[in-house]
Chains A and B, each alone.
Chain A
Amino acid sequence: TQLLEQSPQFLSIQEGENLTVYCNSSSVFSSLQWYRQEPGEGPVLLVTVVTGGEVKKLKRLTFQFGDARKDSSLHITAAQTGDTGLYLCAGGETSGSRLTFGEGTQLTVNP
């Protein structure tokens, strides 16, 4: 099983600040997905990146896939209280149909 490590595990910031969440592995993934999960709900997909070096922007969120397809980052600009949630990265394994998740980053944006 290919492993993904997320950091930090917990992040508490003030509204308006910027932040970056990291997702790292020693393995190569065919794709990397980022999900956001709210309490009592299942994760919801934010973005999928498939090409090494790829950068995708979703409003204030910027996602990057590492050149070697082993790592990814999520950057949020000017965080809002509505960004609060659990952010999960997930890698599509090159060998089959599995989607491997990181442990998650619990983000709290304070007003």
Chain B
Amino acid sequence: DAGITQSPRHKVTETGTPVTLRCHQTENHRYMYWYRQDPGHGLRLIHYSYGVKDTDKGEVSDGYSVSRSKTEDFLLTLESATSSQTSVYFCAISLQGPMNTEAFFGQGTRLTVV
């Protein structure tokens, strides 16, 4: 267990509503990532953080925002949920960056937008 907790684990929401997913770590790792996983697409990077208040966009960042006010928490917000954002969302952490150390993943949040 890498000390990563995602909440909620499951959520159903309506189109147009804002949604926030939370990732909490107890490892004090510098890097945190949000991915979405869809059939046929593998894991696609949404946003990542390399420190408190330091974030950057991934390859599928449109419609998503993030915040990291503390080392241990990385929040992903869907500003106005759409059906195309129905997916499984994974948070990951790494100590020095993915090229140097292992990335540990949470158990995922299954989000359904109806």
Separation of A99 and B97 alpha carbons in the complex (Å): 9
Q: Does B31 contact A (CB under 8 A)?
A: yes
Are A40's CB and B48's CB within 8 A?
no
**A-chain residues with CB within 8 Å of residue B108 when the two chains form the complex:** 40-42
Separation of A1 and B99 alpha carbons in the complex (Å): 15
Q: Does A79 contact B (CB under 8 A)?
A: no
Are B59's CB and A99's CB within 8 A?
no
For residues 91 through 114 of chain B, which have their beta carbon under 8 Å from a beta carbon of chain A?
A: 92, 94, 97-100, 102-108
Are A30's CB and B105's CB within 8 A?
no
Chain B residue at minimum C-beta to C-beta distance from A48: B102
Tally of chain B residues near chain A (CB < 8 A): 28
Q: A41-B107, A90-B43, A98-B45 are in contact. List 5 more A-B contacts (CB 8 A).
A: A31-B100, A41-B108, A42-B106, A43-B105, A101-B35
Binding site for B on A (CB under 8 A): 1, 6, 9, 30-31, 33, 40-45, 48, 50, 88, 90, 92-93, 96-104
Contacts known (A48-B102, A103-B40); A97 close to B90, Cβ less than 8 A: no
CB of A10, distance to nearest CB on chain B (Å): 11
Q: Which of A30, A48, A93, A97 contacts B31 (CB 8 A)?
A: A97
Are B92's CB and A90's CB within 8 A?
no
CB of B113, distance to nearest CB on chain A (Å): 20
Are B50's CB and A101's CB within 8 A?
no
Contacts known (A40-B107, A97-B48); A90 close to B98, Cβ less than 8 A: yes
Are A101's CB and B98's CB within 8 A?
no
